Amino acid sequence: MLGLVTYFLILTSMIIAVWWRPTVGVAAVLCLYGLKQWGQSTTEFFSDHREFSNFAVFLIALVGLLRASQKRSCLFCEIPATTKLVLLIFLYAFISLAWTPDLDAAIDQWLAQGPYILTIALLAPLLFSSFRDARTAFTWTALVGAAICVLALAFGKWGGRGLILYGREVSQEYETNPLAMASMAGTVAIIAAMSFSRPNGIAMRVLATVIIPISIAVILRSGARGQLIATAAGVAVALPIAFRVRDIRSIAALLLAGVIVVGLGYVASSFITLDADRWGSKQSTEDISGRLANAAALLQASSSHFFSIIFGLGNSSAFKVVGFYPHITGLEVIAEEGIVGAAIYFAILFVAGRSIVRINKQEDPTGYKRNALAILSGLFVFELILSWKQGSLLGSVYVFGYAIALARLERPIGSLNRLATPAQAGVVRSLPRFENLLR
């Protein structure tokens, strides 16, 4: 009963909030996997109907988009180049199904990942139109995600690494995906870590000291080594942006925030009994070697013919060539989509990085823009690292979603510069020679 009540409380709160704050739909998308797994592990209905959470979150995001369209003149005006590149890479990957060696396996992958591509990579970024929108989305993500983490730690039935599906016996076969829950926890940790910078007040900073160890504890309980490393990298990238290092004072504040985050992470380790073998360097090395071997086998197959070098083996061909996807998105794209697809993929990453640099150069005396940019940059790096550790092209939805969001936040800056009036630009426009009689 606790699971059912808390699940619907969280879902209902977001449904109500998205009506007034459309970007709460982003929070629903970022907390999707955590909410889904909490429901599956506590309630028979959600365990038997796993797609319910997907449809619920999609509808929340869609309502947010409809509400946002009422407040803006045009949602699809001036589509950023990043959005076009993301659409192009998915279009090309779909076209490559024409020559993929195992069409049935590829279609299964598209059917499984299609809803996530639509909701996370394409629909959710449309809710971003300003930095205030981003702050609202991230605040709600931290609060909702932290609540799910607390429920999972305190009341969840854990197996080896993941939560056990409701009514099932404790075995790896019936565990939810531990990496998905850990990814949500990492997202929450990065957002909370940025609460130590401006313009957040004492209340948010105190709350962050509670949220960070809880979210990191979930990562440790899930045995997600990659998520822990990616979280640390995301925080390391985000903190200098949030504090904008200029002088001794800002450097000291940055170092203090870093020490606090590391200290809270150490506190989190005391909550959890760690599996020494899982976190040992030997197993980590073996896992990395295995994934590199799969990627190398796929690259070798793609380099055997001129056509596959240029155009790739075809999307999802790894399932035929090596029996499983290689986990390393960049190398998979080179092999399956060839030079053509790889050029588009790396162009997306380059443009996203350029957006971060360009926005970072803007002056922001209030600090809220810088804080939102720091979080978004950290999350982009976080998901990018994970995609090169456990991802595929079709599964890298958050990477593409964050890339589009960065472009949408960069675009208004350029638009304002282009739309400046002659008077604002220091140019005096001459008066019309004849009066407009129809005015």
**How many angstroms separate the Cα of 277 from the Cα of each of 7, 265, 326?**
34, 20, 23
Predicted confidence at residue 430, as pLDDT, reads: 40
Residue 15: name the closest of 120, 113, 144 by CA.
Answer: 144
Evaluate if pTM is beyond 0.85: yes
- Contact (CB, 8 A) for 93 and 394: yes
Predicted confidence at residue 416, as pLDDT, reads: 40
Predicted confidence at residue 160, as pLDDT, reads: 85
Predicted confidence at residue 366, as pLDDT, reads: 63
- How far from chain centre, in Å, is Cα 324? 24
Q: Where are the domains of the chain?
A: 2-68+80-412
CA distance linking residue 332 with residue 395, whole number of Å? 12
Rg value, the chain, Cα: 23
Residue type, 359: I
Q: Which residues of the chain have pLDDT under 70?
A: 73-76, 172, 247, 275-277, 279-283, 363-366, 412-439
Residues near 157 by beta carbon (within 8 Å), at least 6 away in sequence: 41, 163, 164, 170
Predicted confidence at residue 281, as pLDDT, reads: 63
- The first and second tokens of residue 324, run together, are 């499983």
**φ, ψ for residue 335, nearest 5 deg:** -80, -45
Residue type, 344: I
Predicted confidence at residue 277, as pLDDT, reads: 67
- The first and second tokens of residue 16, run together, are 């109500």
- Contact (CB, 8 A) for 75 and 405: no
